[in-house]
Every structure is written in structure tokens, then in C-alpha cells.
């Protein structure tokens, strides 16, 4: 599973991206998690090319456990 965590480097979202990656790896240790620095306040998580979380659309950051839950939902669809 390829996971891209796209985060705004201008606004120092890297620690959030790192925590999100750690959370995913704790459940999916074989996942290939990559942090992708960006700009403009972006914080998005893509799994195998599908966006599962977008701060722009949600108006917030993901809460604990939310990303893993969304990945599990992808597995069953």
C-alpha cells in the first residue's frame, strides 16, 4: 500500500504528518508511507492514489484513528 501524506511545510505541518504516518504504520507496518512537502496550508492523505483525507474539504486535521478507519473502509469497498 502506497500512502502519500502531503503537508504544508510553510505552516510547519510536518510533525502532524509524521504522527499520521506513525499511526498508519502501527496498523499497516508494510505500508510505504511518504511525506510530501507542499505549501498553501495543504494537508492531504492519499492511499494508492485515492485521497482519503483533505484538510481543505474537511476544514480540520484528522482526529486520532480516523485515517486508519478510512483505510479499512477502502479495503472493504
| pTM: predicted TM-score of the whole model, two decimal places | 0.95
What percent of the chain shows pLDDT beyond 90?
A: 96
Kindly report, residue by residue over 32-58, the tens digit of the pLDDT.
999 999 999 999 999 999 999 999 999
What value does the mean pLDDT of the chain take? Answer: 97
Read off the pLDDT band of 77 (50, 70, 90): confident
3-state SS string for the chain = CEEEEEEECCCCCHHHHHHHHHHHHHHCCCCEEEEEEECCCCEEEEECCEEEEEHHHHCCCCCCCHHHHHHHHHHCC
Amino acid at each position: 500500500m502506497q500512502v502519500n501524506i502531503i503537508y504544508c511545510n510553510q505552516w510547519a505541518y510536518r510533525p502532524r504528518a509524521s504522527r499520521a504516518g506513525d499511526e498508519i504504520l502501527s496498523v499497516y507496518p508494510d505500508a510505504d508511507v511518504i511525506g510530501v512537502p507542499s505549501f498553501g496550508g495543504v494537508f492531504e492523505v492519499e492511499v494508492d492514489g485515492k485521497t482519503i483525507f483533505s484538510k481543505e474539504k474537511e476544514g480540520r486535521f484528522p482526529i486520532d484513528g480516523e485515517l486508519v478507519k478510512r483505510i479499512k473502509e477502502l479495503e472493504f469497498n
